[in-house]
C-alpha cells in the first residue's frame, strides 16, 4: 500500500535528516519526497496500516512534521517493485534512488537532479532569475533603502558610516529569517558549512551571532573586533559554499533560513564575498 503525507521537508538537507529514521522502519519498501511541490509530498510504500503512525513518529524524531493526506491504497507492482503515483506536477526523472529501489522516476532523496524550484547541478550559475531569487532581492533592496534613508537624514555622506549601516541592517534582516526556525536553519546550514557540519551548537548559535554583529555595526562600537569577526565568519561560510558548488550539489541556501527555498548558487558566493570585502574596506578606512 502507498500513503502520502504533507510535510515541511523544504530541502535536501531536511530529507537527509529524515532518511535514517525512515530507512530503519522494516515495513517500508520505498519512499520519496518532492521538495519542489508546495506541499512537500512524502510518498511511502509499506505493507501494514500500522506503519503509518510509525512513519509520522520517524519524521517527528528528525524534527519535522508529516500529516497523512490520503487513505492507504494498494497499487500496481512492476518488476517486483511498487509504482509510485505522482500527486501534483509530475517530477523530472531522477538518477538517484533510495536503497532497495531500481532506477526510475523518483522524487528528491538525498543527492538528486534538479526539478522545478531548485538549482541546476550542471552549472553553479544556471537558472539565475528574479523569480527564483525574489525574496533575497527584496531583502537586499530593503537593506540598501534603509541605509540610504539613514544617510539622507544625517548628511553629509560618509562611506565608512554608510557601510557600517548597510552591514548592520544586513545582519539584522538575515538573522530575523534564520530565527524564525533555528532548528531547521541549523539542519540546512550543516549541509554545507564547514563548522556547522562539525558542531550543531555553532549552527544553532549562528543566527544569534549575526544578530550581535548587526547591533555592533549599527552602534558603530568595537569596529575592529566586529570587522575581523565578520571576515572570519563569512570567510568560513564562503569556503563551505565554494565546496558545495564545486561538487555540484543541489542544496538549499540557508541565508534566509528555511522560510524560502533559495538554491545554492554563485549568488551566495557574491553575497558572502561582498560582506568580506566591505569588512576589509572598513578596516582600511578606519
Question: What structural domains does the chain harbor?
Answer: 2-82 (3.30.70.100), 130-285 (no CATH)
Backbone phi, psi, residue 83, to 5°:
-100, 115
Query: Do residues 61 and 25 touch, judged by C-beta distance below 8 A?
Result: no
Task: Give me the residues of the chain with pLDDT under 50, please.
Answer: 74-126
Which pLDDT does position 216 carry in this prediction? 95
pLDDT tens profile 178-205:
999 898 888 888 888 889 989 999 999 9
The span from the CA of 22 to the CA of 271, in Å, is 36
The span from the CA of 251 to the CA of 13, in Å, is 7
The span from the CA of 5 to the CA of 56, in Å, is 9
The span from the CA of 57 to the CA of 22, in Å, is 9
Which pLDDT does position 129 carry in this prediction? 67
Amino acid at each position: 500500500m502507498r500513503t502520502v503525507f504533507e510535510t515541511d521537508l523544504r530541502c535536501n538537507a531536511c530529507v537527509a535528516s529524515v532518511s535514517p529514521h525512515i530507512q530503519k522502519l522494516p515495513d517500508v519498501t520505498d519512499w520519496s519526497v518532492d521538495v519542489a511541490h508546495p506541499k512537500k509530498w512524502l510518498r511511502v510504500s509499506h505493507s501494514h496500516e500500522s506503519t503509518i503512525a510509525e512513519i509520522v513518529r520517524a519524521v517527528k524524531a528528525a524534527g519535522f512534521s508529516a500529516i497523512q493526506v490520503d487513505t492507504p491504497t494498494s497499487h500496481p507492482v512492476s518488476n517486483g517493485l511498487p509504482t509510485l503515483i505522482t500527486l501534483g506536477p509530475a517530477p523530472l526523472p531522477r538518477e538517484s534512488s533510495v536503497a532497495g529501489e531500481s532506477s526510475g522516476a523518483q522524487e528528491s532523496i538525498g543527492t538528486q537532479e534538479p526539478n522545478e524550484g531548485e538549482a541546476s547541478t550542471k552549472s553553479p550559475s544556471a537558472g539565475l532569475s528574479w523569480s527564483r531569487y525574489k525574496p533575497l532581492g527584496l531583502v537586499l533592496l530593503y537593506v540598501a533603502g534603509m541605509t540610504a534613508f539613514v544617510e539622507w537624514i544625517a548628511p553629509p555622506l560618509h562611506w565608512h558610516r554608510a557601510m557600517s549601516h548597510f552591514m548592520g541592517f544586513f545582519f539584522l534582516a538575515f538573522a530575523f529569517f534564520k530565527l524564525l526556525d533555528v532548528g531547521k536553519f541549523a539542519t540546512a546550514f550543516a549541509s554545507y558549512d564547514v563548522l556547522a557540519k562539525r558542531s550543531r551548537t555553532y549552527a544553532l548559535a549562528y543566527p544569534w551571532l549575526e544578530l550581535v554583529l548587526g547591533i555592533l555595526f549599527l552602534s558603530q562600537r568595537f569596529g575592529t573586533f566586529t570587522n575581523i569577526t565578520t571576515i572570519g565568519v563569512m570567510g568560513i561560510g564562503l569556503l563551505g559554499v565554494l565546496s558545495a558548488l564545486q561538487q555540484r550539489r543541489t542544496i538549499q541556501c540557508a541565508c534566509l533560513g528555511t522560510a524560502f527555498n533559495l538554491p545554492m548558487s554563485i549568488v551566495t558566493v557574491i553575497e558572502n564575498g561582498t560582506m568580506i570585502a566591505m569588512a576589509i574596506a572598513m578596516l582600511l578606512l578606519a
